[in-house]
Amino acid sequence: MSALYSLLAVLALVAAGLEGGRTGAGRDALTLIVPYAAFTIFLAGFCVRVLRWAWAPVPFHIPTTCGQQKSLPWIRQAKVDNPSSKWGVLARMAAEILLFRSLFRNNRARMAEKRLILGESKFLWLGALAFHWALLLILLRHLRLFIQPVPAWVNGLERLDGFLQIGAPQLYISDVILLAALAYLLYRRFRDPAVRYISLFTDYFALFLLLAIAVSGVLMRYFVRVDVLSVKQFALSLAAFRPVDLRALSPLFLAHLLLVCTLAAYLPFSKLMHMGGIFLSPTRNLANDSRRKRHINPWNYPVKKHTYAEWEEEFHDKLVAAGIPLEDEDAGKAHTD
């Protein structure tokens, strides 16, 4: 059900984008208010979430580890999976962010021959890696629309991505990979009953939204061509805060824009914040040195102590009067008994 609702939500967005540009007010909303609002929400929301995380207390080092801890000199330490130094942590985070190291360890439990088997399950890792890298490449390629003159490295990326001479405009390899990976990730959610059971509206919504963005982009590039000149002029004018109303912007482009804006505005409130959150995972970004180094909770205030000895001293006379044995005086006696 949640899949259907999220699909309907995305389709509603697409329809709004396609039809919204018919009236002048609708155009203004789509090309002016929505982009700026979405960008503001994205930036402010992102910063607020990261800063709130930054101010959350992480008093102790609590990394989860997957290898031999630093120990006796002849025992080989897993320096990346169980880092004890800053550099180890850096390497671990790099492996996490660039290669999705944790996901690589993904397992799948199943029963076979009357016993539990933990088998490999690498397709999620592969699909996720392919999707994220393709998305990064596509985002960087889009810089050609926001920067004038276009930096040489952006052109270089385009050349590399369009290396295969297929059609004109040339097919981008990243487009194919992105669509295939998204399709797989969606298929995976539907296929596995366990995953389907835990999937919520937001899980499907993010996927459908990304899929809709990718499909509308692919349509604009390869099938229903849009005028890239006006698109770039529009993007630059937005960046310069001098928006121009361009009638040449096609409905499909407006739909693409609305979807992207929705994604940007939605991102800070969604699980997609793992984009920033991954950097702040305390189970990953800290060195495992708790047994070598004493980590003192930095905001520990001085606790007012009242020891038994002090208490006994305070009530010394009363205790003696009541015939209760005193510890400091009787201690030796008791021993000798």
Counting contacts by CB under 8 A, is residue 251 touching another protein?
A: yes
Question: Which of residues 134 and 171 has its CB atom nearest to another protein in the complex?
Answer: 171
Footprint of another protein on 61-80 (CB under 8 A): none
Q: State yes or no: residue 140 binds another protein (CB under 8 A).
A: no
Smaller CB separation from another protein, 172 or 204: 172
Q: Does residue 36 bind another protein (CB under 8 A)?
A: no
* Residues 68 and 297 sit within 8 Å (Cβ to Cβ): no
77-80 long-range CB contacts below 8 Å, 24 or more apart?
none
User: With respect to another protein, which residue has the nearer C-beta, 8 or 166?
Assistant: 166
Taking the complex as a whole, the smallest distance from the CB of residue 204 to another protein amounts, in Å, to 24
Q: Give the residue, chosen from 29, 41, 140, 143, that forms a contact with another protein under the rule CB under 8 A.
A: 143
Asked if 120 is part of the footprint of another protein (rule: CB under 8 A), the reply reads yes
**Alpha carbons 287 and 284: distance in angstroms, whole number:** 8
Q: How far is the CB of 12 from another protein (least distance, A)?
A: 17
In sequence order, what are the residues at sequence separation of 6 or more whose Cβ sits closer than 8 angstroms to the Cβ of residue 255? 13, 14, 16, 17, 18, 216
Q: Which stretch binds another protein (CB under 8 A): 198-206, 246-254, 314-322, 325-333?
A: 246-254
What residue type is assigned to position 219 of the chain?
A: L
21 vs 208 by CB, closer to another protein? 21
- By CB under 8 A, residue 24 contacts another protein: no
Binding to another protein in span 160-219, by CB under 8 A: 162-171, 219
Q: Is 242 helix (H, G, I), strand (E, B) or coil?
A: coil
Count of beta carbons in the 10 Å neighbourhood of residue 283: 11
> Do 31 and 245 form a contact (C-beta atoms < 8 A)?
yes
The 3 state secondary structure assigned to 17-43 is: HHHHCCCHHHHHHHHHHHHHHHHHHHH
Give the footprint of another protein on residues 291-330 (CB under 8 A). Answer: 298-299
